[in-house]
């Protein structure tokens, strides 16, 4: 997430959409502190991969006119995005790695996909692992 108050735009960096080059492009205009999810405070509520709905509430709490800002994001085909999410979870999740080490294996993509909750819990994980959830 990048917020520029002087030019009134917000760039929402959605996980697994190829937004890294755009983040680098917009980085010089970043004017608001973006902190890790578990370190956010009332004065510093913005964190990486923050969804627009939560950002709007944070803007309101700070008395900022969210609707006056141009909102920019990057999208990706949802099917390839889910495959990329599955691969990242397989690489990073400590339980999946442990399962592979002991020979149990990880869930197949089709099993994982059918058991993934579409209600905001997404691919699970800890609260600070926002990239897994939405």
- CB contact set of 88 (below 8 Å; sequence gap of 6+): 16, 131
Quick one: pLDDT at residue 121? 65
In the block, tokens 């108050």 appear at 5
Model confidence band, residue 65 (pLDDT cutoffs 50, 70, 90): very high
Q: How many residues does the chain have?
A: 134
Q: How many CB atoms lie within 10 A of CB 20?
A: 10
Identify any residues that bridge with 3 across adjacent strands, giving them in sequence order. Answer: 10
Residue 37 and residue 47 in contact, taking contact as beta carbons nearer than 8 Å: yes
pTM of the model: 0.78
Q: What are 93's two structure tokens? A: 């999740």
Model confidence band, residue 89 (pLDDT cutoffs 50, 70, 90): confident
> Worst-scoring range by mean pLDDT, 25-29, 47-51, 107-111, 123-127?
123-127
Residue 72, pLDDT > 80, answer yes
């Amino acid at each position: 997430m990048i917020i520029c108050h002087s030019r009134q735009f917000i760039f929402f960096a959605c996980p697994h959409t190829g937004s890294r080059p755009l983040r680098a492009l917009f980085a010089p205009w970043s004017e608001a502190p973006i902190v890790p999810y578990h370190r956010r405070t009332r004065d510093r509520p913005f964190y990486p991969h923050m969804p627009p709905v939560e950002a709007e509430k944070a803007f309101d709490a700070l008395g900022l006119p969210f609707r006056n800002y141009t909102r920019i994001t990057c999208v990706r085909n949802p099917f390839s995005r889910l495959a990329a999410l599955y691969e990242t979870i397989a690489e990073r999740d400590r339980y999946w790695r442990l399962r592979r080490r002991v020979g149990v294996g990880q869930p197949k993509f089709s099993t994982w996909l059918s058991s993934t909750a579409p209600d905001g819990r997404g691919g699970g994980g800890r609260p600070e692992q926002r990239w897994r959830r939405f």
